[in-house]
């Protein structure tokens, strides 16, 4: 499975120096991965995520995330001041296994002007680690945690103005795979939904300025996948690609900060899905539209049975028609007239 557009730079894990006797073995391959789809945006390439885990033992990971304040394109002719993890929205996916341990270092780029911190919903500790990771421009702080429970969890900035920071893009996902791993699929993608509040109306050219009153009223100007208007579509930077006969896993994190999502794949159905990212629970089957609360995650499978363009939407459809929220999966392959065919002549 490939993506139309430019790839990005993968963020590799860094091997930890040899520890004391009895320490867990260290990660030997990427446990955090991401990259930009296009350099003048914050659009995370949805195909750049760490691979599934195939091991039966715990290891230790040493991981870094950098808070970056970025001026980038929001739409054609519209720019915005984003706040990001590693320069992308959503932030890079972290992927570990239940029982693993992590040393996480949070850095703040020298050019930043605001404080930042990190609340990880997979962390059992005060503030999800946010107090331990509070950093000013040019600073770095580290924490240690053990992944004691499985699931797909959001991470996000957690300073006092956390709603603004999340709205501007400071959220991502950590996947803690259960001991037995995840079902085998052909491909995986990773997307994130959030909303932006601006003084200017939707699609106004120039720099869009943040509007705190609209945020307090929960009245967004933009609702987005991956930090830009309709970014993952044929009309913008290209759809995700899939093939007939494959199964695709979709990871979705809803940053909010205020709006949930009614996630629906137009022309398909969630054959299996794990609401709230609760991977320890049995999946639901054949779900048409799955609610995803702000500050939560979703994991779902799509069976790609026919050639089509699947439109991933929030079924609060004014967000699709008027606020910029659309992603597409272009499925190619042999027609299946036994499943679907047009009977009337094309219009």
Could you give the 3-state DSSP secondary structure of residue 70? strand
Domain end residue (candidates: 155, 177, 199): 177
Q: Looking at the DSSP assignment, which residues form a beta bridge with residue 196? A: 222
Secondary structure class of 255 (helix, strand, coil) = strand
Q: Count Cβ atoms within 10 A of the Cβ of residue 291 and give its class: 0-12 exposed, 13-18 middle, 19 or more buried.
A: middle
User: What pLDDT is stored for residue 10 in this prediction?
Assistant: 30
Residue 210 contacts by C-beta under 8 Å, 6 or more apart in sequence? 81, 164, 167, 168, 196, 197, 198, 199
Q: In this predicted structure, what is the pLDDT of residue 346?
A: 82
pLDDT at 257: 98
How far apart CA 256 and CA 163 sit, in angstroms, is 8
119 with 130: CB under 8 angstroms? Answer: yes
Backbone φ and ψ for 76, nearest 5 degrees, come out as -60, 115
Query: Per the domain annotation, does 96 fall within a domain?
Result: yes
Residue 12 falls inside a structural domain? no
Same domain, 37 and 168: yes
Same-domain check for residues 167 and 201? no
**pLDDT at position 18:** 29
Beta bridge partners of 296: 254
Q: What is the per-residue pLDDT for 32?
A: 87
| 282 and 236 within one domain | yes
- Domain carrying residue 106: 32-177
Q: Is residue 8 in a domain?
A: no
Count of beta carbons in the 10 Å neighbourhood of residue 132? 19
**Within this chain, do residues 321 and 270 fall inside the same structural domain, yes or no?**
yes
Distance CA 232, CA 171 (A): 19
Structure tokens at 49: 């995520």
Do 135 and 91 sit in the same domain of this protein?
yes
Of 177, 207, 234, the last residue of a domain is 177
Q: Closest Cα partner for 193 from 250, 124, 239?
A: 250
pLDDT of residue 15: 30
Task: Please indicate, yes or no, if residue 195 is contained in any of the structural domains.
Answer: yes
Residues 205 and 119 in one domain: no
| Domain-embedded: residue 140 | yes
Residues 191 and 327 in one domain: yes
Asked if 70 contacts 42 with a C-beta cutoff of 8 angstroms, the reply is yes
Q: Which residue has the tokens 């992590």?
A: 102
In a domain, 22, yes or no: no
Q: Given strand 78-85, what is the order of strands in its sheet? A: 140-146, 101-108, 60-75, 78-85, 206-207
pLDDT of residue 287: 98
Q: How far apart are CA 155 and CA 258, in angstroms?
A: 15
- Residue 113 shares a structural domain with residue 42: yes
Count of CB atoms within 10 A of residue 15's CB? 12
Which residues, given as ranges, of the chain have pLDDT below 50?
Answer: 1-22, 28
**Integer Cα distance of 26 and 33 in angstroms:** 17
| Residue 16: inside a domain | no
Instruction: Identify whether residues 145 and 98 lie together within a single domain.
Output: yes
How many structural domains does the chain have?
A: 2
User: Both 173 and 192 in a single domain?
Assistant: no
Q: What is the pLDDT of residues 286-317, one digit of tens each?
A: 999 999 999 999 999 999 999 999 999 999 99
Residues with Cβ < 8 Å from 317, sequence gap 6 or more? none
* CA–CA gap between residue 36 and residue 88 (Å, rounded): 6
Q: What is the CATH number of the domain that holds 288?
A: 2.60.40.420
In 38-150, at which residue ranges do the beta strands (DSSP E only) sit?
60-75, 78-85, 93-97, 101-108, 119-120, 140-146
45 with 170, same domain: the answer is yes
| pLDDT tens profile 194-221 | 999 999 999 999 999 999 999 999 999 9
Q: Are strands 270-274 and 308-314 parallel, antiparallel or unpaired?
A: unpaired
Cα-Cα end-to-end distance for the chain: 32
Output b/e per residue, 300-322; b: 16+ Cβ within 10 A. bbbbbbbbbebbbbbeeeebbee
Quick one: residue 86, left, alpha or beta (phi over 0 = left, psi -120 to 50 = alpha)? left
- Has this prediction a pTM greater than 0.85? yes
Indicate the residue among 177, 202, 218 that finishes a domain. 177
Q: Phi and psi at residue 83, in whole multiples of 5°? A: -120, 130
């Amino acid at each position: 499975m490939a993506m139309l557009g430019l790839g990005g730079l993968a963020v590799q894990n860094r091997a930890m120096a040899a520890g004391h006797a009895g320490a867990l073995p260290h990660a030997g391959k990427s446990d955090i991965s991401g990259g930009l789809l296009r350099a003048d945006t914050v659009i995370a390439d949805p195909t750049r995520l760490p691979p599934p885990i195939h091991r039966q033992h715990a290891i230790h990971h040493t991981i870094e995330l950098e808070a970056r304040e970025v001026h980038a394109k929001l739409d054609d002719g519209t720019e915005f001041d984003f706040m990001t993890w590693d320069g992308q929205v959503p932030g890079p996916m972290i992927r570990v296994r239940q029982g693993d341990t992590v040393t996480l270092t949070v850095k703040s780029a020298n050019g930043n002007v605001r404080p930042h911190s990190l609340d990880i919903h997979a962390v059992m500790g005060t503030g999800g680690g946010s107090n331990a990771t509070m950093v000013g421009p040019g600073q770095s702080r580290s924490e240690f945690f053990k992944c004691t429970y499985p699931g797909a969890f959001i991470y996000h900035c957690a300073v006092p103005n956390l709603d603004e920071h999340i709205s501007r893009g400071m959220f991502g996902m950590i996947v803690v795979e259960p001991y037995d791993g995840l079902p085998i699929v052909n491909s995986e993608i990773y997307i994130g939904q959030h909303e932006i509040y601006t003084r200017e109306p939707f699609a106004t050219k120039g720099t869009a300025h943040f509007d705190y009153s609209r945020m307090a009223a929960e009245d967004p100007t933009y609702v987005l996948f991956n930090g830009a208007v309709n970014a993952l579509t044929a009309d913008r930077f290209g759809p995700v690609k899939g093939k007939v006969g494959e199964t695709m896993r979709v990871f979705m994190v809803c940053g909010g900060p205020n709006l949930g999502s009614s996630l629906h794949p137009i022309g398909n159905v969630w054959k299996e899905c794990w609401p709230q990212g609760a991977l320890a629970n049995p999946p639901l089957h054949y779900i048409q539209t799955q609610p995803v609360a702000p500050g939560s995650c979703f994991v779902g499978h799509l069976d790609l049975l026919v050639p089509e363009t699947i439109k991933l939407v929030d079924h609060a459809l004014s967000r699709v028609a008027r606020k910029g929220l659309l992603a597409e999966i272009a499925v190619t392959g042999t027609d299946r007239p036994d499943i679907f065919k047009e009977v009337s002549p094309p219009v």
